[in-house]
Chain A
Amino acid sequence: MFCMTNCPTLIVMVGLPARGKTYISKKLTRYLNWIGVPTKEFNVGQYRRDLVKTYKSFEFFLPDNEEGLKIRKQCALAALNDVQQYLSEENGHVAVFDATNTTRERRETIFRFGEENGYKTFFVESVCVDPEVIAANIVQVKLGSPDYVDCSNDEATEDFMKRIECYKNTYEMLDETLDKDLSYIKIMDVGRSYLVNRVMDHIQSRIVYYLMNIHVTPRSIYLCRHGESELNLKGRIGGDTGLSLRGKEFAKSLAQFINEQNIKDLKVWTSQMKRTIQTAEALGVPYEQWKVLNEIDAGVCEEMTYEEIQENYPLEFALRDQDKYRYRYPKGESYEDLVQRLEPVIMELERQENVLVICHQAVMRCLLAYFLDKTAEQLPYLKCPLHSVLKLTPVAYGCKVESIFLNIEAVNTHRDKPENVGVDRSREEALRTVPNHL
């Protein structure tokens, strides 16, 4: 795999409270991990909550509150300590330092820390003056914060606005002249415009591209597989066949479901395999075909049943169970390869609003893992049954998932990890978790 990072990178968030720093930190971390760059976020507010068990009021943040300042600096240093542990000792590639970092003095401390440790530093500043956006942020993520667990919404909002005021007087934005030697991106008004300065390497370039493509407009992403196919019925993997009778029923049912959802400007995407296209055709709406949404290439095992794979390639079968994410079929692909080829799909999904993606089991697992922040170990075992639609709606810092089974029976194609993954296991042990088929 192309190695994108030489020295580790320290991403430093900058901005007043309620400007989306944590939202960006978490999203960016999720994206980088998904594409294979080990990344971790360090939220200084969290360190503060761990140290100062109970939050009283905004007065903690007053710029003349000596004790408050001392504690906050301590927390920042503790977080930086953990950053160093992660990047220099635990093989992390990117650390996202999530705090306000609104003074030049604080940023210089962090920059020096980066230099001393051989990290490249990249600043991400979020600037927003639109009161509606700020109010919406407060509602989405602050009201539910542990800081305000016993407060009414009005009390929380009032306190939080005063908290923001505490930072405003000492806020020194990244400056075109004073900070001209730093590498940074300044995001203005939730992405209306961006100022990008001195991008130094590949990973920073990718980060900038990603940040410039994400948005916060409410929308939903619908993920589903093609209707049950002829090969599904026979328990065979891969191939390029058409839908079974029940699969065709599903396609009609999907059309009805989509109609009822009354979705604004829905885009529909399929792979270039017959079964997803047949499914989309039933919707009677325009759709785009993506070759990169094609199912994982099982190479020499294409169109085989698991029983046949066990008979012809028992060693391969066992190796796959040992590490399903990294295992590559002979002359085929791995889940790891799949994630690489799906990256443009994820990028375009971020740009778009309402989208229905009609794809395949392995592909859907990869996409789902991105949205739900699943690890490489969990990804290949995510449950994506036929004839079920997953509706993903971004909310707060994550994604709400609704699973809608469209009431048309289908075979189960989910094979759990067997207990015995040793290459010397018996045929029964290998095939124990194979779902029923014709």
Chain B
Amino acid sequence: MSEVGELTQTPLQKVWIPHASNRLHQRRGSAVPQFTNSPTMVILVGLPARGKTYISKKLTHYLNWIGIPTKVFNVGQYRREAVQTYQNYEFFRPDNQEAMHIRRQCALAALKDVHTYLSREEGQVAVFDATNTTRERRNMILQFAGDHGYKVFFIESICDDPDIIEENITQVKLSSPDYKDCNREEVVEDFLKRIECYQLHYQPLDDELDSALSYIKIFNVGLRYLVNRVQDHVQSRTVYYLMNIHVTPRAIYLTRHGESRHNLQGRIGGDSGLSPRGKQVGAGHGGDSGLSPRGKQFASALAGFIESQNIRELKVWTSHMKRTIQTAEALHVPYEQWKALNEIDAGVCEEMSYEEIQAHHPEEFALRDQDKYRYRYPKGESYEDLVQRLEPVIMELERQENVLVICHQAVMRCLLAYFLDKSAEELPYLKCPLHTVLKLTPVAYGCQVESIFLNVEAVNTHRERPQNVDVTREPEEALGTVPPHY
């Protein structure tokens, strides 16, 4: 037992830690709870064109976004680097000795890099993206993982619907480096023969033989799942995520509320019009920092835009703050309010302008510029906190189809970073200007973005990172990148 000693608060993340150096737990003082102990290998299993790479990439985005360092290792990529030019499907014939040797070498090279990532580079999860269709190959990987103390979780994608397979080939194989100079028919024909090469020796995960393994089997793009022996938190979250994603075509529209009075004055945060009941914010309540006249114009423009897009069964979500609700009201459609979509809480800096923050909290202002993602406002939040509270929103966005999210600058940056796979460093500086709608359409392995400015002028609220982020800097240096305001 130890003495009840004094604590200090870390200046950046505002996390309480003991004065004395921590002899116990290297993760004490983390801003978000850590649930991962031993590293995990996620192993994909399945014939070609079953969505393994799609799942690998999406899962990796998600785990990284919620703070679990994850990396994909695509064995096909290693093969492309080893064998510079792809001739045709005959490379994949099971009796092609030379090719088999090369492919095994590639798998081993990838495993070597997995080891480096998990054991030397502080990675938590490695996603091993290859067909892994034979028990022999999977046993080799299990052996490897066992030797290094990694947990193993298999994800098998099984699909027998020829329409889905052909759609996959169209979406991602036509544009593969393997098929650079081929036309569509040639690609489909060759790729189908490639699949056949694997089909003969395919040993799916078996209920009996593999009953001791941890895995999820996904049937026909999510119609059915078989989940076996989930071991821990990461695997549980992975299963939940995989069970919520889908491939039905749809679009997600992200936008901020219309320009508010606070925006005009260069003030951050705030809300107003909270009724005496202090509960839900409704439009038409009194208070000052609702939409500016231009903001109201934007709301009408947004209504017009949405109508012109003719979107099937559009869901509209807002935060609980007056400015997003006022914006949604102009659409004259039902909308859902999520408290989780509220703007980042700037704590003691709420409703201040940057000039005021510099005047009253110059050190905080500098710390924020040093690490904008992890910096937590005193009595407020950080971007890192924001991501944690937005996770249920992301999960529901994955489940839904066409959605319009009317939110706030920091919130929109977090959501955008998830869809566009931006790093923690880039996230807080993503450009999300007022009066602009971003239309995200999933395509191939990523997301197509269209930016639509709705032609109603607004102040710029984007503050770039200044050159000098030191706490000793001059006010001019600190305020050099503040956008103009009234």
Contacts and interface: CB of A to CB of B under 8 A. Distances in A.
B389 interface: yes
Interface in A265-295: 269, 272-274, 277-279, 281-292
A192 B213 CA distance: 11
21 contacts: A2-B336, A194-B227, A196-B227, A197-B225, A205-B243, A252-B4, A256-B1, A272-B31, A277-B7, A277-B17, A278-B7, A279-B4, A281-B4, A284-B1, A287-B25, A287-B28, A289-B15, A291-B32, A334-B279, A340-B340, A351-B233
Interface stretch (B87-95, B138-146, B166-174, B270-278): B270-278
Contacts of A329: 278
Q: How large is the interface on B (under 10, 10 to 19, 20 to 34, 35 or more residues)?
A: 35 or more
B1 A282 contact: yes
B200 interface: no
A129 interface: no
A348 interface: yes
B1 A259 contact: yes
Contacts of A256: 1
A315 interface: yes
Interface of A: 1-3, 176, 180, 192-199, 202, 205, 208-209, 212-213, 240, 242-243, 248, 251-252, 255-256, 259, 269, 272-274, 277-279, 281-292, 315-316, 319, 326-331, 334, 337, 340-341, 348, 351
A278 B17 CA distance: 9
B34 interface: yes
A197 B225 CA distance: 6
Contacts of A269: 33
Q: Is the interface of B mostly helix, strand, loop or mixed?
A: loop
A212 B239 contact: yes
A212 B214 CA distance: 14
Interface in B226-243: 226-230, 233, 236, 239-240, 243
Contacts of B14: 272
Contacts of B279: 326-328, 334
B1 A198 contact: no
Given A281-B18, A319-B277, A209 B25 contact: no
Contacts of B27: 286, 288
Given A259-B1, A286-B24, A272 B243 contact: no
B244 interface: yes
Given A281-B18, A284-B24, A288-B33, A348 B227 contact: no
Nearest to B395: A205
Contacts of B453: none
Given A2-B336, A328-B279, A282 B2 contact: yes
**The 8 residue pairs across chains A and B that have the minimum distance between CB atoms:** A286-B25, A248-B4, A193-B228, A196-B225, A328-B278, A194-B227, A255-B1, A277-B16
A274 B225 contact: no
B5 A213 contact: no
> A3, A255, A329, A331 — which one has the most chain B CB atoms within 10 A of its CB?
A331
Interface in B248-279: 271, 274, 276-279
A281 B228 CA distance: 38
Nearest to A332: B278
Contacts of A292: 388
Contact of B224 (A3, A198, A330): A198
Contacts of A337: 339
A2 B1 contact: no
B396 interface: yes
Contacts of B34: 288
B399 interface: yes
Contacts of A282: 1-4
Contacts of A209: 240, 243
A197 B223 contact: yes
A340 B33 contact: no
Pick the most buried of B15, B227, B229: most chain A CB atoms within 10 A of its CB.
B227
B152 to A, nearest CB: 16
B371 interface: no
Contacts of B33: 269, 288-290
B28 A286 contact: yes
A272 B24 CA distance: 18
Contacts of A279: 4
Interface string B206-222: 00000100000000000
A288 B35 CA distance: 9
A161 to B, nearest CB: 27
Contacts of B396: 2, 202
Contact of A281 (B2, B278, B337): B2
A193 B229 CA distance: 6
Contacts of B227: 193-196, 212
Nearest to A269: B33
A242 B15 contact: no
A273 B4 contact: no
Contacts of B3: 282
Given A1-B339, A284-B1, 13 more contacts: A193-B229, A195-B227, A205-B399, A213-B236, A242-B6, A242-B7, A274-B9, A282-B1, A283-B1, A287-B28, A289-B16, A289-B33, A341-B389
B155 to A, nearest CB: 14
A208 B243 contact: yes
B30 interface: yes
Contacts of A193: 211, 226-229
Contact of B229 (A176, A192, A251, A283): A192
B385 interface: yes
A196 B224 contact: yes
B338 interface: yes
Given A2-B338, A195-B226, A330-B278, A278 B4 contact: yes
A194 B3 CA distance: 47
Given A281-B4, A328-B279, A330-B274, A3 B226 contact: no
Select the residue from B34, B233, B244, B277 with max chain A CB neighbours within 10 A.
B277
Contact of A212 (B9, B24, B35, B230): B230
Contacts of B224: 176, 180, 195-198
Given A196-B227, A202-B396, A291-B385, A3 B336 contact: yes
Nearest to B225: A196
B43 to A, nearest CB: 18
B226 A199 contact: no
A368 to B, nearest CB: 21
B1 A252 contact: yes
A29 B29 CA distance: 36
B236 A281 contact: no
Contacts of B240: 205, 209, 212
Nearest to B214: A193
A292 B336 CA distance: 23
A196 B242 CA distance: 12
Given A193-B228, A195-B225, A327-B278, A243 B4 contact: yes
Most chain B beta-carbon neighbours within 10 Å: one of A180, A242, A285, A328: A328
Nearest to B217: A195
Contacts of A274: 7, 9, 16
Contacts of B338: 2
A73 B457 CA distance: 68
B236 A196 contact: no
A285 B27 CA distance: 12
